Amino acid sequence: MLLVSCQSHGKQDVVLEGGDTLTVQSQLLTLTRFDDYVVADVNDPWNEGRLLSRYVLVGDSCDSELPDGVVVNVPLGSSLVYSSVHAGVINELGCVDAVTSVCDAQYYSMPIIVDRLTNGLVVDAGSSMSPDVEKIISHNPAAILCSPFQNAGHGAIERLGIPVIECADYMEATPLGRAEWVKFMGLLYGQYDKADSIYSAVVMAYDSLKNMAANVHERPTVISEMVTDGVWFMPGGGSYMARVFADAGANYVWADDNSTGSLQLDFATVYDRARDADFWLIKTFGRDLTLAQLESDYALHARMKAFASGGVYSCNTGATSLFEDFPFHPEVLLREYVKIFHGNLLPDYELKYYKSVK
């Protein structure tokens, strides 16, 4: 099947007539089913009213005239996957055999992917910033799944004639909006019904926890992450992470910000606004954080209220499956936060990802 259009970047968002819309909560993804194909429109997160990409997903038989877009033969039998987040949901759909190459292999903690890398069943295509084009050509995956960034292309891989699937799920403003991208994955890998069932269960569990936390009498304040190389990356107030904080019954210190991505702040800015925050949630990679290490990394960390009051919690993402789990299962992260902020609501639940920092 030929590519009808190599890219849809910068095109106006043209609404197709007819078809059944399969998405409900996603703001960036619209899936429309027609008789023998599905159109997946990915809206541009940085330019309202414009398309980032349009994909036309076609099965073995299709007699219809297709709309413009990147034509993708589905189900995918092979794929290069840039992110462990997407590999995780593909594995949940039962299609891990179709993950035949990955980028940034050192960040994959899923045992099945690690084993397949060791056994040569999955190709290490190098860094996602500069993938090994020769390996990609040799492997010749049916599609490449990667995350788009503002004002950035995908380099040489765009010229290989392989469909590049731009997974903009990380830019969704709501947890359930991002989780709904599992339906797109289900369509790509021939498991839509399973994906739809997964999403329905996620919505039910998430809403149950959200309703539980909605009735709390006191809402603690919360911040996240820490200074790294002089910069404090803080979730924007319009991000899905900020929404999870709110749904867990907490007041996020940057809730008045509208950004859906990350804010790049200095310590003084954070300290001025957030020094009295009740909780401080930090993700690390490859180490279990201690208060002594936190203070050693940056002495002024010790001046934060949460540091002295026992409100610091850390997740070692290299030792847990948080990154593989929560983007498509926001209920698992919401449950952690409800437990941290309002432990009495979940007396029998033990934290799976986060630990109290001592």
pLDDT digits (tens, 9 = 90+) for 144-182: 999 999 888 888 899 999 999 999 999 998 999 999 999
Mean pLDDT of 20-41: 96
Residues contacting residue 268 through CB under 8 Å, at least 6 positions apart: none
Mean pLDDT of 175-195: 97
Band of pLDDT at residue 11, cut at 50, 70 and 90: very low
d(CA 313, CA 150): 31
- Lowest average pLDDT, out of 3-17, 113-127, 338-352, goes to 3-17
CA angle 329, 333, 337 (to 5 degrees): 155
Predicted pLDDT of residue 277: 98
Predicted pLDDT of residue 2: 33
Mean pLDDT of 299-303: 90
d(CA 143, CA 81): 9
The backbone torsions φ and ψ at residue 339, rounded to the nearest 5 degrees and listed phi first, read -65, -40
Residues contacting residue 106 through CB under 8 Å, at least 6 positions apart: none
Which has more pLDDT, 293 or 318?
293
Does the structure show a pLDDT above 70 at 96?
yes
Q: Which residues of 74-92 are buried (b: 16+ CB within 10 A; e: fewer)?
A: bbbeebbbbbbbbbbbbbb
Does the structure show a pLDDT above 80 at 225?
yes
Does the structure show a pLDDT above 50 at 10?
no
Predicted pLDDT of residue 9: 44
Mean pLDDT of 79-88: 95
Band of pLDDT at residue 184, cut at 50, 70 and 90: very high
Predicted pLDDT of residue 14: 54
The answer to whether 171 and 260 are in contact (CB under 8 A) is yes
Predicted pLDDT of residue 336: 98
Residues contacting residue 34 through CB under 8 Å, at least 6 positions apart: 18, 19, 64
Q: What is the pLDDT of residues 288-298, one digit of tens each?
A: 999 999 999 88
Mean pLDDT taken over the chain: 92
Predicted pLDDT of residue 151: 82
Predicted pLDDT of residue 5: 35
Full DSSP string of 156-217: GGGGSSS-EEE-GGGG-SSHHHHHTTHHHHHHHTT-HHHHHHHHHHHHHHHHHHHHHHTT-S
Q: What is the pLDDT of residues 34-54, one digit of tens each?
A: 989 999 999 999 999 999 999
The answer to whether 254 and 284 are in contact (CB under 8 A) is no
Local structure of residue 106 (DSSP, 8 states):
G
